[in-house]
Chain A
Amino acid sequence: MKTINYNLKTLFVAAIAVLTISSCTKDDGYVELPVVRSGYYILNEGGFNSNNSSMSYYNLENGSVVNGFFAQKNGRGLGDTGNDAQIYGSKMYIVVNASNTVEIVDAVTLKSIKQLDFKNNGVGRQPRYVVFNKNKAFVSSYDGTVAVIDTASLAIEKYITVGPNPEQMAIANNKIYVANSGGLNYPNYDNTVSVIDLNTLTEIKKIEVVLNPGGVTAAADGRVYVKSTGNYGNIKPSLTIIDSKTDLVKSTKVFSGSGMVINGDKAYFLSGKGIKLYDMKGDSVLKDNIITDVSDEAKITTPSGLTYDFVNKQFFVCDAKNYASNGQVYCFGQDGMLRYKFTAGVIPNSIIFLNK
């Protein structure tokens, strides 16, 4: 069920980087310091009912990998079905879907600072994704809510009611766009995107898109890209573009590819066994697969995640393999050639970069 929104992470890291850079270039005359990665985390979803969601860490300085990093640091497991993880400030927020928790950990040591419980009268809300804005974290949950967490007190301040079974969120024009999948109402999926006003923290409207929306990504110019899965039948997977200034749908087209990563005026999608290149100016697919490496080593079995590192200009593809073993992470260069790969945990689904 997991859908992917890698660009959010990248965007966020980019945002942080921009903030850092801009703060360094203020009037005190600092020279612009480039962002340097010390490594990256891999969130492994784990098997269903298996309590083996985990965090791996790849150390970019020496190329070493530590699997089961969270359990090692905390003496307990992350839980079941880690669905999303993002760093905000000095903390990482890990959304653990089936355990109904959000683990807030120190981004460097991975020591848990707080485990937020996402149950409502004993029934799990099933948290899915997290985004941030101005010292607030927003967590979408399958119970049709977006929780607002204060990043200082780490307390849940509010639940904003949205549509059924929301998945990904993106922020544009001081609004949050939430994909209401209605995935658990099969076959009666939802077809709306909820718009939350970040000033009032309430849902102000719903925008109609194609059935079963899951992925939402905001481009720098304010366009919001919504990926719908359709109904696996007559309604095909589609891409809807919303203008966040007017909140009107600009275009809708049949489109396959999951996850969306934005890099300048280009976007990348995970498709089949490769990475699809998409031009955001012309809104068209430029290349069906940018992976040029045809060696057996570079063969991806079951792609389960895509991330772009704008610092080192590399693509990361997670591979769930056959779902009966640990997954792998592949690093590809701009040329589409495999740089390196390594074994992570069960069903790796996202890469979270850690800067020096």
Chain B
Amino acid sequence: MYSKIYFFACFSLLLVSTQCVFAQKIDSVQKVKEVSVKASANKPSLRATQKADSASFLKTSSYNVADAIRNFAGVVIKDYGGIGGLKTVSVRSLSAMHTGVQYDGINIGEASTGLIDLGKLALDNVESISLYQAQPDDLLTNARSFSSASLIVVKTKLPSFEEGRSNKLMLKYTGGSFGLINPVIRYDQKITKNWAFNINSAWQKATGDYKFQVIGDGSDTLSTRENSAINAIQLGGGVDGKLSEKSSLAVRVSYYDSKRGLPNAVIFYNPTGSQKLWDKDFYAQAQYKQKLGEDWNILVAAKYSTICTRYNDPDYLNQQGELDNRYTQKEYYQSASTTYSPIKNLTFNYAADVFFTTLYTNLYQYAYPTRTSILQVLGGKYQLNKFTFEGNVLNTYIKEKVKTGKHSPERLVFNPTVSLGYQVTSDVILRGFYKNIFRYPTFNDLYYTNFGNRKLNPEKTKQYNLGFLYDKFRDAKLNWISLSADVYFNQVNDKIIALPNKDLFIWTMYNLGKVNIYGADFTSKFNYTLNQKSEIQANLNYSYQLALDKSDPTSSLYNNHIPYAPEHTIAFNVGLQKKRWGIFYNQIFSSDKYWFGENTPDFLISGFSVSDVSANYRTKVYAKPIMLSAEVNNIFNLNYDIVRSFPMPGTSIRLTLKTTI
């Protein structure tokens, strides 16, 4: 069925594109601009921002958003393994639910589990991915962007055209291990001088199976990870344009539909599991930007999104002979933001978001909650000589309604963020920030039948950060050096944890945890010019994280490492980029970690050091640019787990052919 939909989509796309090719007027427009790696260095961030762009995706053998950010300092990807395996990101040892994800200008709302699967987000349409601590650098943004401890901002590619062209067709095909088939089409079309649209589609199909070694069941042969197949299509489109010199509109629609096997945890002597997961995600959004004179900027946005999930376990031993759970989440979102600069060096920002989130499930006696969230942020940025001050207060109001039982209490919370930067020299900036924020309990935390606790408080965090950035371009062989170091202290209070209640049969959520996190992030980037045509690019990031359980001084877990928090992480990437080809080596090292609250050797997951190699080659065939890339992941075929009982694949390859017509 998927292939049919896909081919229909491709066919329609081709049809549209051929018509457009004939219909096009030769019109001189923008020239395709290669994204400069150096562009990010313009405005040094006050809050240790890290960025990866489309050029770096190739270097780090990245296939999805999770891959692309795994090299960032302070980031730990929780990867359940394989192509369809859940991939979430935890930043600076705060759980994944503290990381917000903004895609195309508006945040992804996941109120049911709070977990956003970054493995689902492909890179085909992505221009850049930034990781912000505390808040985004750009103040003209919605209030929700200020509501998480860290924020991943994914920017998609805007339509762009070669000189004299008014359309562009990008065709890409990726194939490789796990039976992966992944064709991608994107078509950009100019409508008028100021308007363009694009449509894109991708199909991803893989059998997903891979070999791995079971440790501890006495077997010495390799086992096969089964039930890992995925079949997904993604369809999207957008219209971008200028209404006037000072105003612009961006409209996007996107649909993602997938069916995947959920391979069970590896259970000794029982290598079965037939659970399936279906996703149907849709969103439509519009953003309108207006400049009012020199001082005012306005951004208005609206989004409607649905996330439909179906989980099925055909081996479940109930009378129906299966467990079939369905969840439909809907969000109606609107936002207005503005920045005002009354004088030079001073900017005020204000944003207000209102959104409604509902969750429908087929769970017995479900509460069917509707959450109303009103977020407002008021802040400003002031530059005085070498100092930059930035500060804001976020006000959150949340009210819920339920169809059965009691709803969670109404909340009104204020959270401040303050940042300070000091420009020591033109190349060196000292920076610091403080933020206090929370993650709101998810619908599952609050309302999951017999499991949720409607009285839960938000899980609160405090972040303190001090650091420096040295960033220098030079007219020498070593033409770019960027070094940064930040030390931080994070504290989590009222951490939401599940514990069995008094009759032991049912687990309930409680606000019982407290965690102290002491850490340091170090990042470095170097560009070394060999000659006019070739350059060596290298970056090395190191993170130290000491995340200690401070919940109960009388418990044996007190001062133990929290689960899944490796102390040391190193990401290293080096490569040679020539005009036509490049070759890169990527290394991720993660030290031992515990998968359990208690830190004894029984509960240790050994660290790993995984190496990937990628190569890319650009040429022209019939004057059309062709790019070939090959990636070999886990080249030393390491057998390792990131999440206990969910083994990662061994060596795998991926080949990509891409052209633009």
Residues of A bordering B, CB below 8 Å: 1-3, 47, 49-52, 68, 71, 74-80, 96, 98-101, 115, 117, 119, 122-126, 142-144, 164-165, 182, 184-188, 229, 232, 237, 256, 258, 272, 296, 302-304, 320-326, 346
A47 touches B267 (CB 8 A): no
Q: Which of A2, A50, A124, A188 contacts B270 (CB 8 A)?
A: A124
Closest to B549 in A: A324
Q: Give the distance in Å from the alpha carbon of A321 to the alpha carbon of B645 in the complex.
A: 23
- Are the CB atoms of B596 and A324 closer together than 8 Å? yes
Please give 7 more A-B residue pairs, beta carbons under 8 A apart, in addition to A79-B268, A322-B499.
Answer: A1-B505, A50-B644, A78-B268, A123-B315, A229-B503, A322-B555, A322-B557
Give the nearest-CB partner of A185 in chain B.
Answer: B318
Given A229-B505, A232-B505, are A51 and B596 neighbors across the interface (CB < 8 Å)? no
Task: Provide the residues of chain B in CB contact with A323, threshold 8 Å.
Answer: 499-500
Let me know if B390 is at the binding interface, CB within 8 A: no
**Min CB distance, B440 to chain A, in Å?**
24
CA–CA, A302 to B315, complex, Å? 31
* Minimum distance in angstroms from A167 CB to a CB of chain B: 12
Asked whether B553 is an interface residue with its Cβ less than 8 Å from the other chain, the reply is no
Q: Cβ of A124 and Cβ of B266 under 8 Å apart?
A: no
Known: A302-B500, A321-B556. A187 touches B365 (CB 8 A): yes
Query: Are A49 and B265 in contact, with the CB atoms below 8 A?
Result: yes
Expressed in whole angstroms, the minimum distance between the Cβ of A144 and any Cβ of chain B is 7
| B216 and chain A: residue at smallest CB distance | A77
- CB of B384 within 8 Å of the partner chain: no
Cα of A296 to Cα of B554 in the assembled complex, Å: 10
* Contact partners of A229 in chain B: CB under 8 A: 503, 505
Q: How far is the CB of A275 from chain B (nearest CB, A)?
A: 15
- B317 lies within 8 A of chain A by Cβ: yes
Selected from B317, B600, B644, the residue in CB contact (under 8 A) with A144 is B317
Distance from A256 Cβ to chain B, minimum over Cβ atoms (Å):
7
The contact sample of 6 A-B pairs, CB cut-off 8 A, is A78-B268, A99-B270, A187-B364, A187-B365, A256-B503, A321-B555
B344 interface hit (Cβ, 8 Å): no
Bound: A50/B264 CA distance, A: 11
Residue among A125, A232, A258 with most chain B CB within 10 A? A232
Determine if A80 and B267 form an interchain contact, defined as CB atoms under 8 angstroms apart.
yes
Instruction: Kindly list chain B residues whose C-beta atoms are within 8 Å of the C-beta of A237.
Output: 503
Interface positions, chain B 555-571, Cβ under 8 Å from A, are: 555-557, 563
Contact B317 A76 (CB under 8 A): no
B244 beta carbon closer than 8 Å to chain A:
no
State in angstroms the CA–CA spacing of A164 and B596 once bound together: 33
Given A76-B218, A232-B506, are A324 and B270 also a contact pair (CB < 8 Å)? Answer: no
- Nearest CB in chain B: distance from A316 CB, A: 17
Bound complex: CA A98 to CA B317 (Å): 13
Is the CB of B32 closer than 8 A to any CB of chain A? no
Q: Quick one: given A75-B218, A185-B318, are A302 and B504 in contact (CB under 8 Å)?
A: yes
Interchain CB contact (< 8 A) of A76 among B217, B503, B556: B217
For residue A99, which residues in chain B have a CB less than 8 angstroms away from its CB? 267-270
Is the Cβ of B268 less than 8 Å from the Cβ of A325?
Answer: no
Asked if residues A47 and B596 are in contact (CB atoms below 8 Å), the reply is yes
Q: Is the CB of B503 within 8 A of A98?
A: no
- Within 8 Å CB of A346, what residues of B? 596
Q: Is the CB of B596 within 8 A of A76?
A: no
Q: Which of the listed residues A78, A123, A324 has the most CB atoms from chain B within 10 Å of its own CB?
A: A324
**Interface set, chain B 539-596, CB cutoff 8 A to A:** 554-557, 563, 595-596
Q: Across the two chains, which residue of chain A brings its CB closest to B498?
A: A323
In the complex, what residue of chain A is closest to B319 when comparing beta carbons? A185
Closest to A124 in B: B270
Q: Check A304–B267 contact: CB distance below 8 A.
A: no
Question: Distance (Å) between the CB of A349 and the closest chain B CB?
Answer: 10
- Are A184 and B267 neighbours in the complex by a CB distance under 8 Å? no
Whole-angstrom CA separation of A123 from B321 in the bound complex: 11
Query: Are A142 and B317 neighbours in the complex by a CB distance under 8 Å?
Result: yes
Contact status B268-A51, CB under 8 Å: yes
Interface residues of B in 251-272 (CB under 8 A from A): 264-270, 272
User: Is there contact, CB below 8 Å, between B502 and A272?
Assistant: yes
Which residue of chain B is the closest to A75 with respect to CB atoms? B218
Complex contacts, B500 vs chain A, CB 8 Å = 302, 320, 323
**Are the C-beta atoms of A258 and B503 separated by less than 8 Å?**
yes
Interface string of B303-329 (1 = CB under 8 A from A): 000000000000111110000000000
6 cross-chain pairs, A with B, having the tightest CB-CB distances, nearest first: A324-B597, A76-B218, A325-B598, A49-B265, A79-B268, A184-B318
Give the Cβ gap from A75 to chain B, nearest Cβ, in Å: 6
Q: How many angstroms from the CA of A49 to the CA of B506 in the assembled complex?
A: 17
B264 / chain A contacts, CB cutoff of 8 Å: 49
Chain B hits for A126, CB < 8 A: 317
**A322 B597 Cβ-Cβ under 8 A:** yes
Complex CA distance for A3 and B503, rounded to whole angstroms: 10
Q: Which residues of B42-79 have CB atoms within 8 Å of chain A's CB atoms?
A: none
Whether B269 lies near A79 (C-beta < 8 A) is yes
**Known: A119-B272, A186-B364. Contact between A49 and B505, CB under 8 A?**
no
For A142, what are the chain B residues with a Cβ–Cβ distance below 8 Å? 317
Q: How far is the CB of B595 from chain A (nearest CB, A)?
A: 8
Q: Which of B217, B504, B557, B602 contacts A324 (CB 8 A)?
A: B557
CB proximity of B508 to chain A, nearest CB, Å: 11
Task: Determine if B450 is an interface residue (Cβ-Cβ < 8 Å).
Answer: yes
Using CB atoms, name the residue of chain B closest to A3.
B505
B:195-232 near A, CB below 8 Å: 216-218
Docked pose: A246 CA to B595 CA in angstroms:
52
Shortest CB distance A184–B (Å) = 4
